Amino acid sequence: MSDTQAQTVAFVRETEIPPSPPPIREAGAVKWVRENLFSGWFNTIMTLVALYIILRIVIGVFPWFFNGVWDAGSIRECRDILEGATGACFAVLVDRWDHLLFGFNYPQDAYWRPTLAFVLLILAAVPALFYMYVPSKFLIGTALYPFLAYWLLWGGTLWLPIAVLAAIILTGVVFRLVESMTVSTRTIVAGIVGLVAGVGLAYLLYLGAKELWFISTSIGTGGAFAGLMSLVFKAFSIFTYVFFIPMGIFVGYAIYQSASDGGLVTLVTSLLAIALMMLYAVGPVSGVLNGIIPIELAAVESRQMGGFMLCMMLGAVCVSLSIPLGIVLALGRQSSMPLIKGVCIVFIEFVRGVPLITLLFVANVMLAYFFPPGSGLDLFLRVVIMITMFSAAYIAEVIRGGLAALPKGQYEAADSLGLNYAQATRLIILPQALKISIPGIVNVAVGLFKDTTLVSVISMFDIVGMIRGPIQQSTDWISIYWEPYLFAATCFFIVCYSISQYSQWLERQLQTDHH
């Protein structure tokens, strides 16, 4: 029985002829080369020029790279080993490996802690990044990670992060409790909370007004400018006394009035609860618990953090904080309530209009003035606040673009089904707006990650700070440039390229308009 001959009717083919291969000129590498490299005389010349340039670069770099010295104690030893030949001195990376990764001040016997934190970071990120493939119960691990990482990196007692976690959970309980109260019970709660919040706000404003007056008197009146500034601060101070302090009381009254609706009371009660717990309960409770069952690691201060570890810490914390804050700001800017909209616009425009370096200087020096002596915020926290604010403002604008790109019909369809604002935003608007905004958000995130090297200007020794300071200025490694910077560039490239690849993968996953 033949392949093509039919048994029944002679002229009917029963089996398909296998497809014949295309002509050799139309297939495989030959076709690709002909179409992409030699499609015309101009492209042929360009290909040859490019080949020549690539060849020159390879010839230049290869000896430098492969002659590289990996084992030497100083740059002079390197030169002796090379005996005038071209070659890199990678020995600096080996010699200062710990400093490049952890900074020069982090206790050596504790290097396992950041290393473990880094490994756990990757594990904790998986459920969040690949949420469509990982069961959602693993997200609990992601949520617990920050507390564990804090303990590993800074040390101290484990009870402190546990107490903070407990405070957050308790706040959630308070939220649920107030939400489910009957109106009459909630009115009583609203009365108490309104009183506390109103008086508290008024008191804070009173402190602020006093502070402004103090500044105005300490500026003095020497010279026209100082006199003017003094007057301005006096005016602000009086304005606060006359206008803002009564407003603080009024806010308390407004909270009391909104008891029947519930939303505002619930929110303010929860915020008040967590603020009070953080200020007065968390410290003593963790101290007592640690007295009973001590679980402690040697404490490390923020100033001792450094190297690429510092960049990773700042990058991970600031990216994960600035995206939610950016979403809130973007939604706030779209709000129909003038006060919320105004606050968001002023915040975004102000922060975007200021260079990050000035914000970092403010974090380093100025913020200390705003807090009562002794309660100064940790340096790392101050830097995190500033970088987060900075990138949140950018992310807010990116997301606003995504929100604006959604057809009006999506809002109308959500409304017409009876979804309220929170539901429509969470279920319909944000999933689509964020999907559109992914490239923009990733752009900001990558930029933010690289901007963490700017902390070296406020004498925090991140990887660039380490290279510029302790490494290049040591007598052993004086004036070594290419090798450590190449290493830093490689570290950043690996992380940034991974972020970029992940975002492209995510975009493909979220694509729903193709078959």
Partner 1 sequence: MAEAAQMQVSDEVAITIQNMNKWYGTFHVLRDIDLTVQRGERIVICGPSGSGKSTLIRCINALEEHQAGSIEVDGTLLSSDLKNIDKIRSEVGMCFQHFNLFPHLTILENCTLAPIWVRKTPKKEAEETAMHFLEKVKIPDQASKYPGQLSGGQQQRVAIARSLCMRPRIMLFDEPTSALDPEMIKEVLDTMIELAEEGMTMLCVTHEMGFARQVANRVIFMDAGQIVEQNEPEAFFNNPQSDRTKLFLSQILGH
Among 355, 431, 439, 447, binds partner 1 (CB under 8 A): 431
Q: Is 179 in the site for partner 1 (CB under 8 A)?
A: no
**Residue 432 lies near partner 1 (rule: CB under 8 A):** yes
Which residues, 395 to 414, sit near partner 1 by CB under 8 A? 407, 409-410, 412-414
The interface region with partner 1, picked from 73-81, 155-163, 300-308, 505-513 by CB under 8 A, is 505-513
Dist CA 443 CA 103 (whole Å): 28
- CA end-to-end distance (rounded Å), the chain: 42
Chain position carrying tokens 């602020």? 208
- Stretch of 245-253, 293-301, 456-464, 507-515 lying at the interface with partner 1 (CB under 8 A): 507-515
Nearer to partner 1, 479 or 512 (CB): 512
Angle between helices 139-154 and 159-179 (to 10 degrees): 140
Report the residue number, 200 or 401, with the smaller CB distance to partner 1. 401
Q: Find the helix or strand (DSSP H, E) in which 400 lies.
A: helix 379-405
512 touching partner 1, by CB under 8 A:
yes
Closer residue to partner 1, CB minimum distance, 258 or 453: 258
Does 510 help bind partner 1 (rule: CB under 8 A)?
A: yes
From the CB of 137, what's the least distance to partner 1, in Å? 18
Per rule CB under 8 A, is residue 137 in the interface with partner 1? no
DSSP state of 365: I
Q: Tell me how far, at minimum, the Cβ of 512 lies from partner 1, in Å.
A: 4
Quickly count: other Cβ atoms within 10 Å of residue 16's Cβ.
Answer: 8
Scanning residues 222 to 241, which ones bind partner 1 (CB under 8 A)?
A: none
Q: Considering CB under 8 A, how many residues would be counted as binding partner 1?
A: 23
Residue numbers 435-454 binding partner 1 by CB under 8 A = 435
Binding of residue 135 to partner 1 (CB under 8 A): no
Phi and psi at residue 40, in whole multiples of 5°? Answer: -165, 175
If one asks whether residue 136 binds partner 1 (CB under 8 A), the answer comes out as no
Applying CB under 8 A, the span of 74-82, 161-169, 237-245, 419-427 interacting with partner 1 comes to 419-427
Is residue 416 at the binding interface for partner 1, with CB under 8 A as the rule?
A: yes
Distance from C-alpha of 330 to C-alpha of 222, rounded to nearest angstrom:
44
In the list 420, 479, 481, 508, the residue contacting partner 1 (rule: CB under 8 A) is 420
Q: Does 180 bind partner 1 (CB under 8 A)?
A: no
Side chain identity at residue 99, one-letter code: H
* Contact set for partner 1, span 321-380 (CB under 8 A): none
Q: Is 109 in the site for partner 1 (CB under 8 A)?
A: no
Between 361 and 411, whose beta carbon lies closer to partner 1? 411
Q: Which of 346, 417, 478, 489 binds partner 1 (CB under 8 A)?
A: 417
Q: How far apart are CA 175 and CA 177, in angstroms?
A: 5
**Rounded CA separation 318/165 (Å):** 20
Nearest to 214 by CA among 370, 376, 382: 370
* DSSP assignment of 159-209: HHHHHHHHHHHHHHHHHHHHHTS-HHHHHHHHHHHHHHHHHHHHHHHHHHH
Q: Tell me, what amino acid is at 40?
A: G
Instruction: Convert 133-146 into a string of H (helix), E (strand) and C (coil).
Output: CCCHHHHHHHHHHH
Dihedral in degrees, nearest 10, Cα atoms 481, 487, 489, 492: -150
Facing residues of 244 across strands? Answer: none
Residue placing its CB nearer to partner 1 in the complex, 176 or 352? 176
CB of 90 to partner 1, least distance (A): 49
* Encoded amino acid at 442, one letter: V
Q: Smallest distance from the beta carbon of 507 to partner 1, in angstroms?
A: 13
Q: How far apart are CA 251 and CA 476, in angstroms?
A: 63
- Judged by the rule CB under 8 A, the positions of this chain that interact with partner 1 are 407, 409-410, 412-420, 423, 427-428, 431-432, 435, 510, 512-515
